[in-house]
Structure 1
Amino acid sequence: MSTRTLDALDKRVLYALQREARRTSSNDIAASLDASASTVRNRIRNLESDGIVRGYHADVDYEAAGYQLYTLIVCTAPIPDRGKLAAAAAEVPGVVEVQEVMTGEANVLVRAVGIDGDDLSRIGEELDELGLRVSDEDLIRRTHRRPYSGFEE
Protein backbone atom coordinates (compact mmCIF):
# COMPACT_ATOMS: atom_id res chain seq x y z
CA MET A 1 0.00 0.00 0.00
CA SER A 2 1.41 3.38 -0.94
CA THR A 3 1.16 6.32 1.38
CA ARG A 4 0.07 9.74 0.34
CA THR A 5 0.17 13.13 1.96
CA LEU A 6 -3.12 14.25 3.42
CA ASP A 7 -4.07 17.86 2.92
CA ALA A 8 -6.02 19.91 5.46
CA LEU A 9 -9.41 18.99 3.95
CA ASP A 10 -8.62 15.25 3.98
CA LYS A 11 -7.62 15.51 7.65
CA ARG A 12 -10.75 17.39 8.60
CA VAL A 13 -12.92 14.85 6.75
CA LEU A 14 -11.16 12.04 8.65
CA TYR A 15 -11.72 13.84 11.93
CA ALA A 16 -15.44 14.23 11.19
CA LEU A 17 -15.74 10.54 10.26
CA GLN A 18 -13.93 9.48 13.43
CA ARG A 19 -16.21 11.61 15.56
CA GLU A 20 -19.44 10.07 14.24
CA ALA A 21 -19.44 8.34 10.86
CA ARG A 22 -22.86 6.76 11.27
CA ARG A 23 -24.88 9.89 11.84
CA THR A 24 -22.85 12.26 9.68
CA SER A 25 -23.61 12.81 6.04
CA SER A 26 -21.33 14.35 3.45
CA ASN A 27 -23.67 17.36 3.54
CA ASP A 28 -23.10 17.73 7.30
CA ILE A 29 -19.34 17.46 6.90
CA ALA A 30 -19.36 19.86 3.96
CA ALA A 31 -21.30 22.48 5.91
CA SER A 32 -18.83 22.37 8.79
CA LEU A 33 -15.81 22.57 6.47
CA ASP A 34 -17.01 25.19 4.00
CA ALA A 35 -16.78 22.72 1.10
CA SER A 36 -19.31 21.21 -1.26
CA ALA A 37 -20.96 17.89 -0.47
CA SER A 38 -19.66 16.43 -3.75
CA THR A 39 -16.10 17.42 -2.81
CA VAL A 40 -16.50 15.69 0.57
CA ARG A 41 -17.98 12.57 -1.08
CA ASN A 42 -15.03 12.46 -3.50
CA ARG A 43 -12.55 12.86 -0.64
CA ILE A 44 -14.21 10.04 1.31
CA ARG A 45 -14.21 7.81 -1.79
CA ASN A 46 -10.49 8.52 -2.34
CA LEU A 47 -9.64 7.93 1.33
CA GLU A 48 -11.45 4.58 1.11
CA SER A 49 -9.86 3.53 -2.19
CA ASP A 50 -6.39 4.48 -0.90
CA GLY A 51 -6.96 2.23 2.12
CA ILE A 52 -6.81 5.09 4.62
CA VAL A 53 -10.43 4.58 5.65
CA ARG A 54 -10.68 0.80 5.97
CA GLY A 55 -14.25 0.46 7.12
CA TYR A 56 -16.99 1.56 9.43
CA HIS A 57 -17.52 -0.53 12.52
CA ALA A 58 -20.13 -0.65 15.23
CA ASP A 59 -18.76 0.22 18.68
CA VAL A 60 -20.55 -2.43 20.76
CA ASP A 61 -20.99 -2.14 24.51
CA TYR A 62 -20.77 -5.87 25.27
CA GLU A 63 -21.81 -5.43 28.89
CA ALA A 64 -25.01 -3.62 27.87
CA ALA A 65 -25.62 -6.40 25.34
CA GLY A 66 -25.50 -8.98 28.14
CA TYR A 67 -21.94 -10.24 27.61
CA GLN A 68 -20.06 -9.58 30.85
CA LEU A 69 -16.85 -11.31 29.78
CA TYR A 70 -15.18 -8.90 27.34
CA THR A 71 -11.53 -9.82 27.74
CA LEU A 72 -8.09 -8.65 26.68
CA ILE A 73 -5.82 -11.64 26.16
CA VAL A 74 -2.14 -10.72 26.00
CA CYS A 75 -0.10 -13.10 23.87
CA THR A 76 3.42 -13.56 22.57
CA ALA A 77 4.18 -14.79 19.07
CA PRO A 78 7.53 -15.49 17.45
CA ILE A 79 8.34 -12.37 15.43
CA PRO A 80 8.52 -14.14 12.02
CA ASP A 81 5.07 -15.68 12.62
CA ARG A 82 3.35 -12.73 14.30
CA GLY A 83 1.27 -11.61 11.29
CA LYS A 84 0.18 -15.12 10.34
CA LEU A 85 -0.72 -16.01 13.93
CA ALA A 86 -2.60 -12.73 14.48
CA ALA A 87 -4.68 -13.34 11.35
CA ALA A 88 -5.42 -16.90 12.49
CA ALA A 89 -6.37 -15.66 15.97
CA ALA A 90 -8.93 -13.32 14.41
CA GLU A 91 -10.75 -16.40 13.08
CA VAL A 92 -11.22 -18.02 16.52
CA PRO A 93 -14.93 -17.90 17.48
CA GLY A 94 -15.41 -15.25 20.17
CA VAL A 95 -12.42 -13.14 19.10
CA VAL A 96 -13.55 -9.66 18.04
CA GLU A 97 -10.23 -7.86 17.51
CA VAL A 98 -6.53 -8.68 17.22
CA GLN A 99 -3.71 -6.15 17.32
CA GLU A 100 -0.10 -6.78 16.34
CA VAL A 101 2.36 -4.91 18.57
CA MET A 102 5.77 -4.08 17.13
CA THR A 103 7.91 -4.46 20.26
CA GLY A 104 8.19 -6.49 23.40
CA GLU A 105 7.06 -9.89 24.56
CA ALA A 106 3.37 -9.02 24.54
CA ASN A 107 3.23 -8.58 20.78
CA VAL A 108 -0.31 -9.83 20.00
CA LEU A 109 -3.33 -8.39 21.81
CA VAL A 110 -6.58 -10.30 21.43
CA ARG A 111 -9.96 -8.94 22.46
CA ALA A 112 -12.55 -11.64 22.93
CA VAL A 113 -16.09 -12.01 24.20
CA GLY A 114 -16.96 -15.10 26.20
CA ILE A 115 -20.32 -16.39 27.33
CA ASP A 116 -18.83 -17.87 30.50
CA GLY A 117 -15.52 -18.96 32.01
CA ASP A 118 -15.49 -22.18 30.01
CA ASP A 119 -15.90 -20.21 26.79
CA LEU A 120 -12.95 -17.97 27.69
CA SER A 121 -10.90 -21.07 28.50
CA ARG A 122 -11.75 -22.50 25.07
CA ILE A 123 -10.63 -19.29 23.38
CA GLY A 124 -7.33 -19.34 25.31
CA GLU A 125 -6.76 -22.98 24.42
CA GLU A 126 -7.43 -22.33 20.73
CA LEU A 127 -4.97 -19.41 20.76
CA ASP A 128 -2.40 -21.69 22.42
CA GLU A 129 -2.99 -24.40 19.79
CA LEU A 130 -2.28 -21.82 17.07
CA GLY A 131 1.16 -21.18 18.61
CA LEU A 132 0.45 -18.05 20.63
CA ARG A 133 1.69 -18.03 24.22
CA VAL A 134 -0.97 -16.49 26.47
CA SER A 135 0.68 -14.44 29.22
CA ASP A 136 -2.22 -12.48 30.70
CA GLU A 137 -6.00 -12.14 30.57
CA ASP A 138 -7.87 -9.06 31.78
CA LEU A 139 -11.60 -8.32 31.85
CA ILE A 140 -12.32 -5.02 30.10
CA ARG A 141 -14.75 -2.72 31.84
CA ARG A 142 -15.10 -0.01 29.20
CA THR A 143 -13.20 1.45 26.24
CA HIS A 144 -13.02 5.19 25.66
CA ARG A 145 -12.26 6.43 22.15
CA ARG A 146 -11.81 9.79 20.54
CA PRO A 147 -10.75 11.00 17.11
CA TYR A 148 -7.06 11.67 16.51
CA SER A 149 -6.54 15.37 17.24
CA GLY A 150 -3.91 15.68 14.49
CA PHE A 151 -6.77 15.55 11.95
CA GLU A 152 -8.65 18.40 13.64
CA GLU A 153 -6.58 21.30 12.24
Structure 2
Amino acid sequence: MTMSGLDDLDREILYMLQGEARHTSSTDIAESLDVSASTVRNRIQRLEGDGVLRGYHADVDYESAGYQLFTLIVCTAPIPEREELAIAAAEVSGVVEVQEVMTGESNVLVRAIGEDGDDLSRIGEELDELGLQVQDEDLIRNTHRTPYAGFDQQ
Protein backbone atom coordinates (compact mmCIF):
# COMPACT_ATOMS: atom_id res chain seq x y z
CA MET A 1 0.00 0.00 0.00
CA THR A 2 1.31 3.43 -0.85
CA MET A 3 0.51 6.81 0.66
CA SER A 4 -2.01 7.29 -2.14
CA GLY A 5 -3.80 4.20 -0.77
CA LEU A 6 -4.20 5.78 2.65
CA ASP A 7 -7.19 7.92 3.45
CA ASP A 8 -7.37 10.65 6.09
CA LEU A 9 -8.54 8.24 8.80
CA ASP A 10 -5.63 5.86 8.11
CA ARG A 11 -3.15 8.74 8.31
CA GLU A 12 -4.65 10.01 11.59
CA ILE A 13 -4.47 6.54 13.12
CA LEU A 14 -0.83 6.18 12.08
CA TYR A 15 -0.02 9.63 13.46
CA MET A 16 -1.54 8.83 16.84
CA LEU A 17 0.15 5.43 17.07
CA GLN A 18 3.54 6.95 16.28
CA GLY A 19 3.13 9.35 19.18
CA GLU A 20 2.53 6.70 21.85
CA ALA A 21 1.22 3.34 20.68
CA ARG A 22 1.43 1.65 24.06
CA HIS A 23 -0.86 4.12 25.82
CA THR A 24 -3.21 4.80 22.90
CA SER A 25 -6.18 2.45 22.70
CA SER A 26 -8.50 2.07 19.75
CA THR A 27 -11.17 3.68 21.97
CA ASP A 28 -8.91 6.72 22.59
CA ILE A 29 -8.28 7.07 18.86
CA ALA A 30 -11.95 6.58 18.02
CA GLU A 31 -13.05 9.28 20.45
CA SER A 32 -10.46 11.69 19.11
CA LEU A 33 -11.50 11.07 15.49
CA ASP A 34 -15.25 10.71 16.07
CA VAL A 35 -15.50 7.15 14.71
CA SER A 36 -16.24 3.82 16.37
CA ALA A 37 -13.56 1.79 18.15
CA SER A 38 -14.33 -1.18 15.88
CA THR A 39 -13.61 1.01 12.83
CA VAL A 40 -10.23 1.92 14.30
CA ARG A 41 -9.44 -1.73 15.16
CA ASN A 42 -10.40 -2.81 11.61
CA ARG A 43 -8.22 -0.09 10.10
CA ILE A 44 -5.26 -1.05 12.29
CA GLN A 45 -5.66 -4.71 11.30
CA ARG A 46 -5.75 -3.73 7.62
CA LEU A 47 -2.70 -1.47 7.97
CA GLU A 48 -0.85 -4.33 9.68
CA GLY A 49 -1.97 -6.83 7.05
CA ASP A 50 -0.89 -4.53 4.22
CA GLY A 51 2.54 -4.10 5.80
CA VAL A 52 2.10 -0.35 6.40
CA LEU A 53 2.11 -0.80 10.16
CA ARG A 54 4.99 -3.21 10.77
CA GLY A 55 5.21 -3.36 14.53
CA TYR A 56 5.28 -1.73 17.89
CA HIS A 57 8.73 -1.19 19.32
CA ALA A 58 9.95 -0.36 22.80
CA ASP A 59 11.84 2.93 23.05
CA VAL A 60 14.62 1.94 25.46
CA ASP A 61 16.74 4.50 27.30
CA TYR A 62 19.95 2.45 27.26
CA GLU A 63 21.76 4.81 29.61
CA SER A 64 19.05 4.42 32.26
CA ALA A 65 19.26 0.65 31.74
CA GLY A 66 22.96 0.78 32.59
CA TYR A 67 24.42 0.68 29.06
CA GLN A 68 26.46 3.83 28.59
CA LEU A 69 27.85 3.01 25.15
CA PHE A 70 25.07 3.44 22.56
CA THR A 71 27.01 3.71 19.32
CA LEU A 72 26.40 4.57 15.67
CA ILE A 73 28.78 2.62 13.46
CA VAL A 74 28.96 3.99 9.93
CA CYS A 75 29.91 1.34 7.37
CA THR A 76 30.43 0.87 3.67
CA ALA A 77 29.20 -2.21 1.82
CA PRO A 78 29.50 -3.10 -1.85
CA ILE A 79 26.13 -2.11 -3.32
CA PRO A 80 25.27 -5.58 -4.69
CA GLU A 81 25.83 -7.01 -1.18
CA ARG A 82 24.39 -4.15 0.89
CA GLU A 83 21.08 -5.77 1.83
CA GLU A 84 22.62 -9.17 2.57
CA LEU A 85 25.34 -7.61 4.75
CA ALA A 86 22.84 -5.38 6.57
CA ILE A 87 20.71 -8.42 7.43
CA ALA A 88 23.80 -10.28 8.66
CA ALA A 89 24.93 -7.26 10.70
CA ALA A 90 21.59 -7.27 12.53
CA GLU A 91 22.51 -10.73 13.88
CA VAL A 92 25.72 -9.52 15.57
CA SER A 93 25.36 -9.59 19.35
CA GLY A 94 24.92 -6.03 20.62
CA VAL A 95 23.49 -4.65 17.36
CA VAL A 96 20.00 -3.22 17.87
CA GLU A 97 19.28 -1.60 14.48
CA VAL A 98 20.70 -1.56 10.97
CA GLN A 99 19.71 0.88 8.23
CA GLU A 100 20.56 0.65 4.54
CA VAL A 101 21.34 4.04 3.01
CA MET A 102 20.68 4.57 -0.69
CA THR A 103 23.18 7.35 -1.35
CA GLY A 104 26.82 7.98 -0.62
CA GLU A 105 29.70 5.75 0.26
CA SER A 106 28.61 5.23 3.87
CA ASN A 107 25.63 3.06 3.02
CA VAL A 108 25.02 0.94 6.14
CA LEU A 109 24.30 2.49 9.54
CA VAL A 110 24.56 0.17 12.54
CA ARG A 111 23.33 1.10 16.01
CA ALA A 112 24.88 -1.02 18.72
CA ILE A 113 25.04 -1.24 22.49
CA GLY A 114 28.33 -2.02 24.17
CA GLU A 115 29.03 -2.60 27.82
CA ASP A 116 32.60 -1.36 27.46
CA GLY A 117 35.24 -0.45 24.88
CA ASP A 118 36.21 -4.09 24.36
CA ASP A 119 32.61 -4.93 23.54
CA LEU A 120 32.46 -2.16 20.93
CA SER A 121 35.74 -3.39 19.45
CA ARG A 122 34.30 -6.89 19.17
CA ILE A 123 31.21 -5.59 17.39
CA GLY A 124 33.37 -3.60 14.94
CA GLU A 125 35.55 -6.65 14.28
CA GLU A 126 32.51 -8.86 13.64
CA LEU A 127 31.08 -6.30 11.21
CA ASP A 128 34.47 -6.21 9.45
CA GLU A 129 34.54 -10.03 9.24
CA LEU A 130 31.13 -9.94 7.55
CA GLY A 131 32.55 -7.71 4.82
CA LEU A 132 31.43 -4.29 6.05
CA GLN A 133 34.09 -1.61 6.09
CA VAL A 134 33.76 0.49 9.26
CA GLN A 135 34.15 4.18 8.38
CA ASP A 136 33.31 5.86 11.67
CA GLU A 137 32.01 5.16 15.17
CA ASP A 138 30.07 7.77 17.17
CA LEU A 139 28.69 7.58 20.69
CA ILE A 140 25.04 8.62 20.77
CA ARG A 141 23.85 10.73 23.68
CA ASN A 142 20.09 10.94 22.97
CA THR A 143 17.58 10.06 20.28
CA HIS A 144 14.53 12.27 19.79
CA ARG A 145 11.55 10.99 17.79
CA THR A 146 8.34 12.60 16.68
CA PRO A 147 5.42 11.32 14.60
CA TYR A 148 5.53 12.11 10.89
CA ALA A 149 3.51 15.32 10.55
CA GLY A 150 2.26 14.32 7.09
CA PHE A 151 -0.10 11.86 8.78
CA ASP A 152 -1.67 14.52 10.99
CA GLN A 153 -4.74 15.86 9.19
CA GLN A 154 -6.33 17.74 12.09
TM-score calculated relative to the size of structure 1:
0.98
Partner of 2:24: 24
Partner of 2:43: 43
Separation (CA, whole Å) in 1 of partners of 2:92 and 2:130: 10
Partner of 1:145: 145
Separation (CA, whole Å) in 2 of partners of 1:27 and 1:103: 42
Partner of 2:64: 64
Partner of 2:131: 131
- When the two chains are superposed, the root-mean-square deviation of aligned CA atoms in Å is 0.8
3-state SS in 2 of match to 1:67: coil
| Structure 1: segments with no counterpart, 5+ residues | none
Q: Deviations over 1:9-64 (max 9, x none)?
A: 00000001001100010000000001100000000000000001100000000001
Q: Which sits farther off after the overlay, 2-11 or 138-147?
A: 2-11
Separation (CA, whole Å) in 2 of partners of 1:86 and 1:146: 25
2:90 maps to a residue whose letter is A
Partner of 2:105: 105
Separation (CA, whole Å) in 2 of partners of 1:42 and 1:19: 20
Q: Deviations over 1:60-116 (max 9, x none)?
A: 000011100000000000000000000000000000000000010110000000010
Q: Say whether residues 1:116 and 2:122 are aligned partners.
A: no
How much identity, in percent, do the aligned residues show? 77
3-state SS in 2 of match to 1:54: coil
Separation (CA, whole Å) in 2 of partners of 1:73 and 1:56: 24
Partner of 1:10: 10
Q: Give the CA deviation at 1:5.
A: 1.0
TM-score calculated relative to the size of structure 2:
0.97
Separation (CA, whole Å) in 1 of partners of 2:53 and 2:23: 17
Separation (CA, whole Å) in 2 of partners of 1:150 and 1:35: 21
Aligned length: 152
Separation (CA, whole Å) in 2 of partners of 1:108 and 1:5: 30
| Structure 2: segments with no counterpart, 5+ residues | none
Separation (CA, whole Å) in 2 of partners of 1:103 and 1:82: 12
